[in-house]
Amino acid sequence: MQTSTAKIEVLGRKAKLATSYQELLNEFANRDLKNVGNYSLGKLIGKGSFGKVYLAHHKLTNGSKVVLKSANKDDSNLAREIHHHRQFVHPHIARLYEIIVTETLVWLVLEYCPGDELYNYLVNHGPLPADKVQKIFTQLVGAVSYVHQQSCVHRDLKLENILLDKHGNVKLVDFGFTREYEGKSNYLQTFCGTVCYSAPEMLKGEKYAGEKVDVWSLGIILYALLCGELPFDDDDDNVTRTKILSEEPKYPDHLSSDAAALIKLLLSKRPLLRPTLPDILSHPFLAEYAPQQQVILKLHQPPPFATALEKDCLQRMRSAGVDIDAVIESVLSQKCDALAGWWTLLLEKEERKAKRRERRRKEKEAENRNSRRFSAASSKLERMTPILDENASGYGMNRLGEPPLPKTRGRAERRSGHYVDFTVADLPNLAESKEKGSVPDAFVPPIPIDKASVRSVSSSRNRRPLPPPKEGILRSARSRGSTLHLVTTTGVLDNHSGREESVPQKVRKNPSQAIVATWKNWTHWIVENTRRHRLNKRGSLSTPNLVAKDGQPGGKSPNNPSPRPHTSKYPGTATGQPSRSGDHSPGLPNGHVAEANGARGNLTCQGLGYLLPVTSGSLSHPVL
């Protein structure tokens, strides 16, 4: 068993070695490169007479995107391009990170610009709007001004050498024809560049000022951006040369006066009439974006390893085992080797992270500031919002912005009576009512509600009231607590009958009225108890004498049908007969009929609005 397992392991190792060997052979036989230095090559994004351009990723900085451009070693302009390009550090000039030299090729590691060339962008979109042209052209003028400040001239400005990054900003590339220039004492004579972008003095073979040649090329680019075509262009270079020397460009009608004036200045046939780059930035057509470029041109590049971020990056490289002395030497001498390229890519990545953190911090601060303003405005609005009265169901209205209150258990309406049909019209004497015309001048105010007609708080709201008894009939009262309903038959309250038939309008009582009513009821109760107590000493009026005056014991008889005591204050008979001569209880007043109700011991006087509890024997304390 062990022998077979060992054989299987040996066969597995041999198969693995064979696979690795075959992969190496395939890699050697493949002409397509996959790795160059510390960069892994991606797709091919360009190809020309100079070489190939690849999209690549840096392995040591977690895949920072770069562009690898190959060039032949025997190119005469290659050394000059590298020499000048590596010293240009400007926001609108593509950065040169690293130079990789092989046996036959030289690889330039450049900044990646995903926005494509400006030429392709113009072909796809046509003439650009004026505001976008102002931004692009101002950034381009700023980049060329920076090159001139370094005592150099580009001499190959064209749409193909202007790239756009992901934010639409300009990135100037291709410094193959760049040359040192020291002003009037050092005129140039070499013809270089593209014919359709060349200045007239260069085409004539005369000595020329390098900066004036760049200004002419800027005029060609500005015309192309605004008009969508080159001012002097033909398939035949000789025809193009003739147009440049003898003809004036045609200006479309849609060009603004400032744009046309600037183009005419830039495309002047005489070099001395062309403006300088500072004058171009001061032109009204570029007034919106020129101040930013002027500020950038005035900035001085700080020395390396001076900021906290640079020191932090250097410390991180030391922690990774890198010789930081070699890194510092490569950066200061602008060698553009592997260490300098790694340092620059790492520093740019950390700068992007810091910018993102700062942007998120500002966004969060702005969000918090807006939320505080909104909270303050909401609080002010709540303070200004009047408190609404309670609605018909007894619940108050919610304030603005607050969630609805949950419905609680219990009564949904107030216990006190309310009058639905009773409404208070607008006051006739107010100016607002007269302007609306809703109330006539001869308006009669409604009859005020009698406070005594409002039912007490302790009365039932939902239970339907019992109908009053017929006149002249006294219902028998039970021995236990009963309620006597006094129904008036007089015309004293007839004037209020029409109002009381309708459903009463809800009346909100003043707390002082409730206190006064309570005090009156207690006073009435004390007085009644005192008076009854005095009467009971000589004989209770509410308890009849069960022993007749003739000395016979009480019992059932024709004259005394029932020994049951009367519980009423007015113990009349059910047949309306007058009370016995021996009974000291007074009779009912005229126009009132007594009604007994044993459900609850309450005394209800219809039309008067009071509830007095009555128990058998004596009155209990009143309840509102």
Run of H or E residues at 366: helix 338-384
Structure tokens at 516: 């006064």
Residue whose C-alpha is closest to residue 312's, from 341, 349, 280, 284: 349
Q: How far apart are CA 179 and CA 187, in angstroms?
A: 11
- Residue 421 catalytic? no
Could you say which DSSP state residue 550 is in? Answer: T
Q: How far apart are CA 560 and CA 539, in angstroms?
A: 19
CB 179 within 8 A of CB 83: no
In terms of phi and psi (left: phi > 0; alpha: psi -120 to 50; beta: otherwise), the region of 31 is: alpha
Q: How far apart are CA 148 and CA 155, in angstroms?
A: 11
Q: How far apart are CA 579 and CA 319, in angstroms?
A: 120
Residue 86's contacts (CB-CB under 8 Å, 6 or more residues apart) are 96, 99, 334, 336
Q: Which residues of 20-50 are buried (b: 16+ CB within 10 A; e: fewer)?
A: eeeeeeeeeeeeebeebbbbebeeeeeeeeb
Structure tokens at 92: 């609108």
Cα Rg of the chain, angstroms: 54
CB 32 within 8 A of CB 42: no
| Secondary structure (DSSP) of 484-541 | EEEEE-SSTTGGGHHHHHSPEEP-PPPHHHHHHHHHHHHHHHHHHHHHHHHHHHH--S
Helix, strand, coil percentages, rounded to 5, for the chain: 40, 15, 50
Q: How far apart are CA 309 and CA 61, in angstroms?
A: 16
Q: How far apart are CA 409 and CA 580, in angstroms?
A: 54
Tallying the residues shown for the chain, one arrives at 624
Query: Where does 228-270 have alpha helices with state H?
Result: 237-246, 257-266
Residue whose C-alpha is closest to residue 317's, from 555, 548, 61: 61
- E-only strand ranges, 130-260: 152-153, 162-164, 170-172, 179-180
Q: Which of 32, 74, 156, 236 is catalytic?
A: 156
Between vectors from CA 577 to CA 576 and to CA 580, what angle results, nearest 5°? Answer: 135
At 359, give phi and psi (nearest 5°).
Answer: -65, -40
CB 603 within 8 A of CB 477: no
Q: How far apart are CA 381 and CA 398, in angstroms?
A: 14
From residue 550, give the alpha-carbon distance in Å to each of 519, 545, 546, 547.
46, 12, 12, 8
CB 479 within 8 A of CB 563: no
Q: How far apart are CA 614 and CA 598, in angstroms?
A: 10
Residue whose C-alpha is closest to residue 150's, from 294, 273, 301: 301
Residues catalogued as catalytic = 156
